[in-house]
Structure 1
Amino acid sequence: MEIKIRRRGRDIVEKTVAKNEEEEEQPLSPTARLFHAPEFNCNIISVIGLKGKIEPDMIIEGIKQTLIKHPRFSSTLVNSGSNSSQEPKWVRTNVVVEDHVVIPKIETQNVNADAFLESYVSDLTTIPLDTSKPLWEVHLLDLKTSDAENIAILKIHHSVGDGMSLMSLVLACTRKTSNPDEIPRLPYKNPSSSGSTYGSRGGSRLLLLVMVIWSAIMMVFNTVCDALEFIATILFLKDTETPIKGDFQLTKSKRMCIVHRTVSFDDIKLIKNVMKMTVNDVILGVSQAGLSQYIKRRYGEQEESMPKGIRLRAAVLDLADMMAKGSTCRWGNWFAYIVFPFSIALRDDPLEHLQRAKSIIDRKKKSLEAVLTFIVGNFLIKFIGVQRSANVIKRALSNTTMSFSNLVGPIEEISFYGHPVTYMAPSVYGHPHALTMHFQSYNNKMTISLTVDPTVINDPHRLCDDWEDSLRIIKAAVQERGSHSVG
């Protein structure tokens, strides 16, 4: 296997816009500054499967017309050194798009294309972005894999934006294949009507008042409990040392492995509708079942070999909905996270995984944990500095096991600068977890992306198998329950 990298255009460094021209400077948000600390040099990699032959000139021209018009994609980072007395800023610059587009010459004779793609993406996790230019790259691979005819890879530093804001921008750069002039849309939940349910009777009003007071009490109680757990996690509360928990006591760059698997979104929606749950409930429940099966295998085939009472928690990202109609959310890194405890055990009834996940999520919805983590993170950065804050947050995350996120994608087929998209598989690396699970819905499919430390999890495809098997088992149990209820 041979890879020769050829960068289109001249090998130049962009120069900042002349002072007599309008120049935009913006300071980095606290979270963006955190993402440039050595402990959190986080990058987003999104693998996009395409149909048909890649036309590089068409993609480059499309980027010139859309992507670089956004300030974050046409700005360099200045005064970002740790010894700088000034806060780092985004400064607009002239962008040579060709210098951000990488077209490798691939020799894949007698080479498995899927394995080649995984190796290529893993190699990207070891190569830092050039900080003298805007922090993004597009790789175009003339490579036919099992689920796409060609591949585009977007690599973007996480300081540029969070997952949802980047998704909103990428979607703004795509069009529906059914109507090339129309921007794709995301599914929206219609707000439920309020006020009419309770009528005007005094008893109903009193009941409503009691419910509001009780909800406020539970909100305060749950938030206090979550705050105490958050503090304990920073200080001493660690997850069980399972076969999927990495050791991040020492800071060092690692080569991460990124794989993906695509399943039918219809199966997830069927479970959601029958069980009267949300998509997040189903995904978390199936993930709990899949992780239980995988960890059991890693411990050994005998059930008693897996310890009881495993503490395994995930940092579940709580992303601002940049795509909501009428949203006033700002661009950038405006997210927090909640700590979600997975119940790792083998269940006789697979639907218990769904019910346990839903009960935890329902309880987390009655807490201000996400707001708390956002406020605490910004407070720490402001008052003790980026480096010390990075150490504190790294310690908290290192005491949990994994990261987890779910992004909503378009409900119909879209095209990426004239190239129809078959799947989108976003992932992130650079944070102190040996396992990160990302879920991306698109065109009635769900793609699961796993980012793993191969020294801890050397068989990520087996974990994908266990997730898919768990989905199939839970779907069968739901269908059986539905048939019994009908009968």
Structure 2
Amino acid sequence: MLLPMAPTDSLFLLGESREHPMHVGGLAVFTPPEGASAADVRAMFDAALIGDQVAVPFRKRARRSVTSLGQWGWDTLPHHEVDLEHHVRRDALPQPGGMAELMTLVSRLHGTLLDRSRPLWEMHLIEGLADGRYAIYTKIHHALADGASAMRLLRDSMSEDPHRRNMPTPWQPRNPLAAVPDAGVAVSGGLGSALPAMAWDAARAAVGEVAGLLPAAVGTVDRALHGKGGAVSLTAPHTLFNVPISGARHVAARSFPLERIRLLAKHADATINDIVLTMCAGTLRAYLHTRDALPDNPLIAMVPVSLRAPNTGAGGNRVGVLMCNLATHLPDPAHRLETVRNCMNEGKAALQAMSPAQVLAMSALGAAPLGVEMFLGRRGPLRPPFNVVISNVAGPRTPLYWNGARLESLYPLSIPTTGQALNITCTSSDDQIVFGLTGCRRTVPDLHPMLDHLDAELDLLETAVGL
């Protein structure tokens, strides 16, 4: 039985092409428990492949038919029809088995399309790391799960108990005896779906609030005209990142102690997200400057934000986007931080003054040009709505384990799109924060200089605040 697919999810299938793979990914690096060998790790996976139970999200195949009038829907396969030997694969790194070799392999894996005749996911066990660790690279189509949801699926398969064994893999049901979720419920949502999802939700939520949308739109555009923070920007310059892209990908990542970022934020009277954005701002400035490609006007970042309404509990969160002035035209890192902090504070205050429907509508207004470019597969004739997407997603706050193996690092990998050849996604994990860079290989052939710029920018910011 073909179950309906949410329109926001089907957009990721409609907009996909060889040049625009629409899957998100995550790279998890584990340290095996003491005394464990590579053979033990392989044995655990072999045992899992023998199992005959597959969780519903990992059995959902995207399909169109005459009965659905050509619209995409979900076909939930029986357990035995899911070929786990296709979805779960093994890879080995060449010598010397360092992070460079790991990222080279993951870059290649992240650029290949998922097979639409099967459930839209893959998981790769990667062996051969020189220090005895192993890695798991997972990719899942954005129609099935966004980045935050995919990370959550991976985290939910782990435990805080280092002594726990016989744990299920991410594709296995957590509790086979529990009620099976409705196969028609999409496993999506969260900040990663912001672009098309906001437009759809805004259209529905705006019914009954039309009278309030016009003043909100006028105020949003007025802030954009005066260069203040908000959901819309009219000043993003053209950069070498804002071009058509190819299908090949290049990924890189760098981690920093979370306490180091937290201490800097405290001394700067800023948030951790302000520090993350300013580090990215200095990195982009240095990268473009060394290539004689730094525009006179500051780069603009689209920043997904979670906003909690005043006097509400945990259920009062709102999700929107802000356009942040990265102040890349300013040589002083302290001045860049001040600009970023002020811009984010202005934008948050503006969104907090809106109703949830207005937040959705204004966020959709700011992101709409990119959604059109993503769907059409080519750049529009006007200046880009923004220059880069920078996301910061909170991860697990305590150490996690899978069958005794400790999760050492969790690297997020996202989706470059037409006109946005670089994506920066950050996630915190236990005691560190990871910057995950995903770029079009043709446009950004070498991301490693950006990692060095991140290091340098953090040092400069610490010096600027007297640390």
Q: Are 1:352 and 2:340 counterparts?
A: no
Q: Which amino acid aligns with 2:238?
A: E
Report 1:12-411 matches (<5 A): 26-38=3-15, 41-52=21-32, 53-54=37-38, 55-59=41-45, 68-69=54-55, 71-79=56-64, 85-94=69-78, 95-104=82-91, 106=92, 108-109=94-95, 111=96, 113-144=98-129, 149-178=133-162, 180=164, 222-225=219-222, 239-242=236-239, 244-248=240-244, 253-299=246-292, 307-308=295-296, 310-318=297-305, 327=315, 337-348=321-332, 350-368=333-351, 371-372=360-361, 390-391=375-376, 395=380, 399-411=385-397
Q: Which amino acid aligns with 1:44?
A: V
- Supply the distance in 2 between the matched residues of 1:121 and 1:67 (Cα, whole angstroms): 28
Kept in 1: contact 2:30–2:134 (CA 8 A) = yes
- Supply the distance in 2 between the matched residues of 1:294 and 1:389 (Cα, whole angstroms): 25
* Counterpart secondary structure, 1:450: strand
- Supply the distance in 1 between the matched residues of 2:59 and 2:307 (Cα, whole angstroms): 23
Kept in 1: contact 2:391–2:426 (CA 8 A) = yes
Deviation at 1:89, TM superposition (A): 1.2
User: For this pair of structures, how many residues does the alignment match?
Assistant: 394
The worse-fitting range, judged by mean Cα deviation, of 399-408 and 253-262 is 399-408
Q: Which amino acid aligns with 1:434?
A: A
Kept in 2: contact 1:121–1:258 (CA 8 A) = yes
Kept in 2: contact 1:174–1:415 (CA 8 A) = yes
Q: Which amino acid aligns with 1:240?
A: P
Which whole-Å deviations, capped at 9, do the CAs of 1:122-145 have from their partners, x for residues lacking one? Answer: 222332111121111110111215
Deviation at 1:279, TM superposition (A): 1.3
Kept in 1: contact 2:236–2:298 (CA 8 A) = yes
Which whole-Å deviations, capped at 9, do the CAs of 1:18-50 have from their partners, x for residues lacking one? Answer: xxxxx6x54222221111124554111211111
Deviation at 1:337, TM superposition (A): 3.5
Cα–Cα, structure 1 residues 65 and 465, in superposed 2: closer, same or farther, change >3 Å?
farther
Deviation at 1:311, TM superposition (A): 4.0
Identity %: 21
Deviation at 1:86, TM superposition (A): 3.4
Q: Are 1:460 and 2:447 counterparts?
A: yes
- Supply the distance in 1 between the matched residues of 2:3 and 2:412 (Cα, whole angstroms): 27
Deviation at 1:449, TM superposition (A): 1.0
Cα–Cα, structure 1 residues 143 and 129, in superposed 2: closer, same or farther, change >3 Å?
same
Deviation at 1:88, TM superposition (A): 1.1
Cα–Cα, structure 1 residues 356 and 237, in superposed 2: closer, same or farther, change >3 Å?
closer
- Supply the distance in 2 between the matched residues of 1:67 and 1:357 (Cα, whole angstroms): 49
Q: Which amino acid aligns with 2:145?
A: G
- Supply the distance in 2 between the matched residues of 1:351 and 1:377 (Cα, whole angstroms): 28
Cα–Cα, structure 1 residues 169 and 227, in superposed 2: closer, same or farther, change >3 Å?
farther
Deviation at 1:276, TM superposition (A): 2.8
Work out which of the two has the higher radius of gyration on C-alpha atoms and give 1 or 2: 1
Equivalent residue in structure 2 for 1:429, among 398, 410, 415? 415
TM-score (norm 2): 0.72
In structure 2, the gaps of 5 or more residues are 169-212, 227-231, 352-357
- Supply the distance in 1 between the matched residues of 2:93 and 2:390 (Cα, whole angstroms): 35
Q: Which amino acid aligns with 1:136?
A: W
Cα–Cα, structure 1 residues 364 and 236, in superposed 2: closer, same or farther, change >3 Å?
closer
Deviation at 1:258, TM superposition (A): 0.3
- Supply the distance in 2 between the matched residues of 1:278 and 1:236 (Cα, whole angstroms): 22
Kept in 2: contact 1:318–1:370 (CA 8 A) = no
Cα–Cα, structure 1 residues 428 and 325, in superposed 2: closer, same or farther, change >3 Å?
farther
What CA RMSD, in Å, does the superposition of the two structures yield over aligned residues? 4.2
Deviation at 1:161, TM superposition (A): 1.7
Which whole-Å deviations, capped at 9, do the CAs of 1:159-179 have from their partners, x for residues lacking one? Answer: 112222222222211111456
Deviation at 1:64, TM superposition (A): 8.9
TM-score (norm 1): 0.69
Q: Which amino acid aligns with 1:271?
A: L
- Supply the distance in 1 between the matched residues of 2:367 and 2:446 (Cα, whole angstroms): 37
